[in-house]
Amino acid sequence: MSADLFVVKANDQTLSIVIWSIFAGIVIGILLSVYHKYVLGSFVRRLLDSGASSEWTAVTMDEAGLGKSRILRLLTRRAILGSGSYAKIVRSPELPYPAPPPKKGQKTPPRKIDSSTRFYIPDDMQNRAIMTYTGGARTIIWALVSIAVLLGIALLSFYIVPALSEMFANIFR
């Protein structure tokens, strides 16, 4: 078996595909994290600030300050009606959680959010909401720094990986 099978060339297309795919995947993850903190987190922060911690203190989206932003309202509604962690944290007295399973032979009952639907964050979820959806400018700063460092590592790996594979191949010669 030839040791040259283990050698990766610096201009190898496979190496390029692997490095840029890993870089793109991590960057997408970082951007999704920023999306959750800032876009979805804005409603959570407003609920926390308004003291909506029970069914009796629940507020509507308009009362929480989302009246003007249609896109933010749409994204928030989708997240609340979903089955992810956002739906576990942000609750509504009008929407049962978890969603009731459909009866045999029926479709899933529709769950709708209108302008009168009230929302709150239960007391037992307050700490989780704070940890997950609050942050500051440091989140964006860390995201930008992380992307810059990852870009540096990606570019540097075009020199390191071929050198390491050459050393690995020399061991078997």
- What pLDDT was estimated at residue 4? 52
Task: At 67, list the tokens.
Answer: 């009246």
Stronger pLDDT, 28 or 43, i.e. the higher one: 28
pTM above 0.75, yes or no: no
- Separation of first and last alpha carbons in the chain: 10
Report the pLDDT value the prediction gives residue 64, as an integer from 0 to 100.
84
**What's the rounded Cα separation, in Å, for the pair 74 and 33?**
19
Output 103 or 58, whichever has higher pLDDT: 58
Between 92 and 67, residue with greater pLDDT: 92
Q: What is the pLDDT of residues 29-77, one digit of tens each?
A: 999 988 888 888 888 888 888 888 888 988 888 888 877 778 888 888 8
12: nearest Cα among 173, 168, 157, 171: 157
Determine the Cα–Cα distance for residues 9 and 172; give it in Å rounded to an integer: 17
Assess whether pLDDT exceeds 70 at residue 114: yes
More confidently predicted of 11 and 115 = 115
> pLDDT class for 102, splitting at 50, 70, 90?
low
Name the burial class of residue 14, with classes exposed (0-12), middle (13-18) and buried (19+) by CB atoms within 10 angstroms of its CB. Answer: exposed
- Quote the pLDDT of residue 42: 86
28-46 burial, b at 16+ Cβ within 10 Å, e below that, comes to eebeeebebbebbbbbbbb
The pLDDT, as a whole number, for residue 3 is 46
